[in-house]
Chain A
Amino acid sequence: MYETTYHRPNSIDEAVALFAKASEPRYLAGGHTLIPTMKQRLAAPTDVIDIARIPGLSGIEVSGEAVTIKAATTHYDVARSDAVRKAIPALCMLAGDIGDPQVRYRGTIGGSIANNDPSADYPAAVLALGATITTNKRGIAADDYFKGLFTTALEDGEIITAVVFPVPAKAGYAKFPNPASRFALTGVFVAKLKSGAVRVAATGASQSGVMRLPDIERALAASWSEATLDKMRISADGLIADVHGPAAYRANLIGVMARRAIAAAG
């Protein structure tokens, strides 16, 4: 790790001010990507601004229509939330299956969404549920937020404050973990919104990061069942091929995980 200056601001304003002053700042919100990258000397921020401890930036609010998870809420807290479990059980299941206990105690939803790792779990839920990403400046619809690998609509210095998930009629998540890293080799989140709209998103599979699956959405909108997908051929175009499997394998996993997500959604 190169030398860096660590800050622990007490407010978002203070964090933004620190960010503006530093020459190459990075926000820290859990650090499961940033810290290993720094240790490998692949990232060299001059200033690390730890926003995970800002008062009021963590917590969960559930209403009949929405689940609001503040940005610094840990995966552990989401996984253990009875209120979330009642409203969107798939979200608890997803959070409870991220990494290992150490990761879940430290990692946060805001950190995951801001980082937008192509194999992270949360982006699939955010995109499939059509959540809104609330920042210190604005609200961003999920469809406008994810811009490719490790790339988002966030502006320089902008801080996610919460993610607002609409409570769906049904939702399910299934992932096949990468045998080595246990990130999602392919994970599929299926959602039937109260409006009747069906949204499906896959993480881990595409070279462009989290993506919606329009063919599967159309098929499930016509008939919400596993059998609907039995004969569907998933294209391998644009999917990742690496030591853990060729693109065709990930295409297969999209279909299999979609069916399992539907089964989980009930």
Chain B
Amino acid sequence: MGVEGIGASVVRKEDKRFITGKGHYTDDIRLHGMTYAHFVRSPHAHARVAGIDASAALKMPGVVAVLTGRQLVDDKIGNLICGWMIHSKDGSPMHMGAWPAMAPDTVRFVGQAVAVVIAETRNQARDAAEAVAVDYKELPAVSTIKAALAPGAPQLHPEAPGNIVYDWSIGDKAATDAAFAGAAHVVALELTNNRLIPNAMEPRSAIADYDAAEDHYTLHTTSQNPHVARLVLSAFYNIAPEHKLRVIAPDVGGGFGSKIYVYPEEMVALWAARKVQRPVKWTADRTESFLTDAHGRDHVSKAEMAFDANHRMLGLRVATLANFGAYMSLFSSAVPTYLYATLLSGQYVIPTIYAEVKGVYTNTTPVDAYRGAGRPEANYLLERLVETAARTLKVDPAELRRKNFITTFPYQTPVIMTYDTGDYHASLDAALKAIDYAGFPARKAAARKRGVLRGLGLSCYIEACGIAPSKAVGSLGAGVGLWESAEIRVNPVGTIEVLTGSHSHGQGHETTFAQVVAERLGIPIAQVSVVHGDTDKVQFGMGTYGSRSAAVGISAVIKAMEKMEAKARRIAAHQLEVAEDDIVIENGEFKVAGTDKKLAFASIALAAYTAHNLPEGMEPGLKETAFYDPSNFTFPAGAYAAEVEVDPATGRTTFVNFVAADDFGRLINPMIVEGQVHGGLAQGIGQALMEGAVYDGEGQLVTASYMDYTMPRAADLPSFDLRHTTTICPSNPAGVKGCGEAGAIGASAATVNAITDAIGNNRLEMPATPDRVWAAIHGNG
């Protein structure tokens, strides 16, 4: 490795602009003649829209237009789509209700838009929105899975009887039932996976501009995947064909999944920009973020594991109810199915698994992928179940895991996935050593003397990242392929522009992608710039989510680099009059092995563009593109160990230590990897201890601000002890597995297992807030 190449903790190139206030976010952009949109949103969770009277609003200062859901439907703007078809057990396609971008006749969650005011200023739009009179006829609402499934429950969509979107299953039911019938021990657990609100630092924002002369739209928006947004807006929403629509996602301040989706506000902004013939800007305020960003998680599950007399796992049976909210968001259907149940084997040899998942509509904000997306739910369920089993069977939790670890690869699980490589013993050993597992009983006893309860919890997680092989996901119902594209543009002076379909919204791609390129050529990263986030610049891309940018995005870069290098090598061989095979690339030079003959990369680049002396028949220029479709998912895995102290008087949990031992394959920039793990751990611990969206019985979001929704803060978290064990990923040329979601996937189970160990009561749900822990300690849990 060079000082800036793969494996170097290079300071992030993009941070200079971020930490000096020079970032360029959507809301920073001002277009000439720009107007501002403010949405009229439903205060009711379920109501019929009997009428909208905008006459008073239209007379208010600065108002340009008031547009309603009815007009949107009349203009044939398409309903929002869900891009992954799931079929129920009985073979029927999922039952989806229509989701217009603004409700023409029925609202189904608090915050759903019914109209939009366009005005000269943001405040004028807001003032006028308050003057729009909406005649709501309230309908009974359901805000929980239980209420939605109750006999006689209010129905959200006529297309979904019983409020059930699908009733899906995976695995072999008969074999699993047989395994349980023959089991020596069965351990069962009921669990809730709490609903989370993403809370990206930058609220969503969109600016739509329509050029009537060219009949062309430009959309600036907070997107994790601008090309996917353009594709969906064009192909399904009838906004404009792709060549008449440019989507730009500039600097984006965090996404965590919530900015994957095309939301109603972007659609309406584009439609409205044409209607008013002026640019339209909308930026969410924090309350709108709470009410309208897609939420995450929200499962209720029953899980059972069967063991033989020697504590070997025989089978796993899971029944999960997943809350989708009021509408099916873009990727929502895949989250509690193919992103969840396919990971239920964890790190273990479980001969047979059967899982059922029912997707349920409720009068709440739509739920979709949020950092980890299905995999945190799977890991939390499995690792709490395994820990519970160890306590029930009275065996050491680490030993029970070790006894059942997968040790030979590739390993075919009973739930689709084929794990390519891993070493689960290594990561568990590293975590136990770092936390001094052997010394824990003495520490627990010492804490007891001080009047506090100390606990240690483990979580051995696995995730499927680098999504995904296009053919495989297509066969499972995905509406798109999940490859990635890259383009390498070498300038005549030898500097390089890397154009990628990945999108950075905090991940540091401008640094890591440059490191990979710099490493291959032996040039400084300052000579490499990374371009992303603009459909007019980048040829295509599927975007960034599911820890896919390194595994898929960088693999595409490597593929394009190989093509570029091959051409440069031919030019070098031609000019140096040697065979191509004799050329080696080193320190920015193409050298003839064993001689002092060489050409600087910059002079090869110049030669490619002057075209004065190229091999016969070679095209001028030095620019190559590639599309990379992965051959498999990647399988990052690791072992987390949390040690906590609980104050029995207040139920408050504090961390003594938190060890994360991860196997991410090859690390491109260890500092950035650590940052990703820290952020993920904060979110995983946030879910375990603090965060939880709460709706009341009428469907009002009680936790709609930071006064009631608890975000984890630095002072709530320990100094993390990060360890790495490495098995190089064999499934992609970069050897990487992905690191963006691990913390959020592994941390919640470790934390809750530590608390339940401390308090000696396993009846504890997330978030394990002080009052809940106190109730559990004192027998009310």
Interface size class of A (residues with CB under 8 A): 10 to 19
Q: Is the CB of B650 within 8 A of A244?
A: no
Given A243-B703, A245-B769, A179:B690 Cβ within 8 A: yes
Contact assessment for B775 and A180 in the assembled complex, using a CB-CB cutoff below 8 Å: no
Q: Which of A234-266 contact B (CB under 8 A)?
A: 242-246, 248-249, 252-253, 256
Q: How far is the CB of A75 from chain B (nearest CB, A)?
A: 18
The winner among B690, B709, B774 for most chain A CB atoms within 10 A is B774
Contact B771 A180 (CB under 8 A): no
Chain A residues contacting B123 (CB-CB under 8 Å) are: 1, 3
Which of A1, A40, A249 has a CB less than 8 Å from the CB of B771?
A: A249
Which A residues touch B650, using CB under 8 A? 176, 252-253, 256
Contacts of B649 in A (CB 8 A): 252, 256
Residues of A162-200 whose CB lies within 8 A of B: 176, 179-181
CB contacts under 8 Å to A, within B680-731, are 690, 692, 694, 702-703, 706-711
Residues A249 and B708 in contact in the complex (CB < 8 Å), given A243-B703, A244-B769: no
Please determine whether B287 and A40 come into contact, CB atoms closer than 8 angstroms.
yes
Interface presence of B770 (CB below 8 A): yes
Candidates A41, A243, A246, A249; contact of B694 at CB < 8 Å: A243
- For the complex, what is the distance from the CA of A253 to the CA of B649, rounded to whole Å? 8
**Which residues on the A side are within 8 Å of B126 (C-beta)?**
41
B708's partner among A1, A3, A176, A180 (CB-CB below 8 A) is: A180
User: Which residue in chain B gives the minimum CB-CB distance to A243?
Assistant: B694
Nearest-CB distance from A255 to chain B (Å)? 9
B708 A243 Cβ-Cβ under 8 A: yes
**Residue of A whose beta carbon sits closest to that of B703:** A243
- Binary interface encoding of chain B residues 746-781 relative to chain A, with 1 for a CB under 8 A from any of its CBs, else 0: 000000000000000000000001110011000010
B694 partner residues in chain A, CB cutoff 8 A: 243
Q: Which residues of chain A have C-beta atoms less than 8 A from B127's C-beta?
A: 2
Tell me whether A245 and B708 are in contact (CB under 8 A). no
Say yes or no: B770 contacts A176, CB within 8 Å: yes
Residue of B nearest to A181 (CB): B707
Find chain B residues with CB under 8 A from A3 CB: 123
Residue interface bits A1-36, CB-to-B below 8 A is 1, else 0: 111000000000000000000000000000000000
Chain B CB count within 10 A is highest, among A1, A40, A249, A252, for A249
Chain A residue nearest to B651 in the complex (CB): A249
Neighbouring A residues of B706 by C-beta, 8 Å: 180-181
Most buried by B among A1, A176, A179: A179
**Taking CB as reference atom, which chain A residue is nearest B712?**
A179
Chain B residue total in the interface (Cβ 8 A): 26
The residue in chain A whose Cβ has the minimal distance to the Cβ of B713 is: A182
Looking at the assembled complex, report how far the CB atom of A186 sits from the nearest CB atom of chain B, in whole angstroms: 9
Contact A181 B708 (CB under 8 A): yes
Question: In the complex the two chains form, what is the Cα distance from A181 to B287 in whole Å?
Answer: 16
Q: Type the 1/0 row for A214-252, where 1 means its CB is closer than 8 Å to any CB of B.
A: 000000000000000000000000000011111011001
Q: Which residues of B contact A252 (CB under 8 A)?
A: 649-650, 774
Interface residue ranges of A122-167 to B (CB < 8 Å): none
Q: How many Å lie between the Cα of A245 and that of B709 in the bound state?
A: 13
CB contacts under 8 Å to A, within B335-374, are none
Q: Which of B702, B703, B707, B770 is A245 in contact with, Cβ under 8 Å?
A: B770
Whole-angstrom CA separation of A242 from B130 in the bound complex: 29
Report Cα–Cα, A180/B301, bound state, in Å. Answer: 27
B711: chain A residues within 8 A (beta carbon): 180
Which of chain B's residues have a CB closer than 8 A to the CB of A40?
287
Whether A245 contacts B287 by the Cβ 8 Å rule is: no
**Given A40-B287, A243-B703, A249-B775, is A180 in contact with B770 using a C-beta cutoff of 8 Å?**
no
Nearest A residue (CB) for B694: A243
A1 to B126, CA, bound (A): 9
Within the complex, the shortest CB–CB distance from A185 to chain B, in Å, comes to 8
Q: How far is the CA of A143 from the CA of B780 in the complex (A)?
A: 37
Chain B, Cβ-Cβ closest to A182 = B713
CB distance B287 to A179 under 8 Å?
Answer: no
- A243-B690 in contact given A181-B707, A249-B774 (Cβ < 8 Å): no
**Known A-B contacts A40-B287, A243-B694, A244-B708; A179 and B769 likewise in contact (beta carbons under 8 Å):** yes
Bound together, the chains give a CA A181 to CA B711 distance in angstroms of 9
- Whether A179 touches B774, Cβ cut-off 8 Å, given contacts A243-B703, A245-B769, is no
Give the docked Cα–Cα distance between A123 and B217 (Å): 57
Nearest chain B residue, comparing its CB with the CB of A2: B127
- Which B residues are in CB contact (< 8 Å) with A1? 123
A1 and B127 alpha carbons, distance in the complex (Å)? 9
Residues of A within 8 A of B770 (CB): 176, 179, 245, 249
B residues less than 8 Å from A244 (CB atoms): 708, 769, 771
Distance, CA A179 to CA B712, complexed state (A):
9
Report the bound CA distance from A179 to B770 in whole Å: 9
**Chain A: which residue is nearest B708 at the CB level?**
A180
Question: Across the interface, do A243 and B702 meet the contact criterion of CB distance under 8 Å?
Answer: yes
Per the bound structure, the CA–CA distance linking A61 and B692 in Å amounts to 46
Cα of A249 to Cα of B781 in the assembled complex, Å: 12
How far apart are the CA atoms of A113 and B572 in the complex, in Å? 79
Give the shortest distance, in Å, between A181 (CB) and chain B (any CB).
Answer: 5
Shortest CB distance A33–B (Å): 11
The smallest beta-carbon distance between B699 and chain A, in angstroms, is 15
Interface members, chain B 128-143 (any A CB < 8 Å)? 130
Complex-state Cα separation, A2 to B706, whole angstroms: 22
Q: B771 contacts which chain A residues (CB < 8 A)?
A: 244-246, 249
Whole-angstrom distance between the alpha carbons of A244 and B772 in the complex? 9
> Separation in Å of the B248 CB from the closest CB of chain A?
30
Q: Given the complex, which residues of B lie within 8 Å of A179, measured CB to CB?
A: 690, 710, 769-770
A260 to B690, CA, bound (A): 24
Query: Given the complex of chains A and B, what is the CA–CA distance between A41 and B130 in angstroms?
Result: 11
Cβ contact within 8 Å between A180 and B709: yes
Interface residues of B in 638-653 (CB under 8 A from A): 649-652
Q: Measured between alpha carbons, how far is A74 from B693 in the docked complex, in Å? A: 34
State whether A180 touches B710 (Cβ < 8 A): yes
B774/A180 in contact, CB under 8 A: no
Taking CB atoms, residues of chain A closer than 8 Å to B702 are 243
Residues of B within 8 A of A2 (CB): 127
Per-position contact with A for B646-678: 1 when CB-CB < 8 Å, else 0? 000111100000000000000000000000000
CB distance from A257 to the nearest CB of B (A): 9
Say how far A247's CB is from chain B's closest CB, in angstroms.
Answer: 10
> 4 new A-B pairs (CB below 8 Å) besides A243-B702, A248-B780?
A1-B123, A244-B769, A249-B771, A252-B649
| 23 A-B pairs with C-beta separation under 8 A | A1-B123, A40-B287, A176-B652, A176-B770, A179-B710, A179-B769, A179-B770, A180-B707, A181-B706, A181-B707, A181-B708, A243-B692, A243-B703, A243-B708, A244-B769, A244-B771, A245-B771, A248-B780, A249-B771, A252-B649, A252-B650, A253-B650, A256-B650
Closest 6 CB pairs of A and B: A245-B771, A180-B710, A249-B771, A179-B710, A256-B649, A181-B707
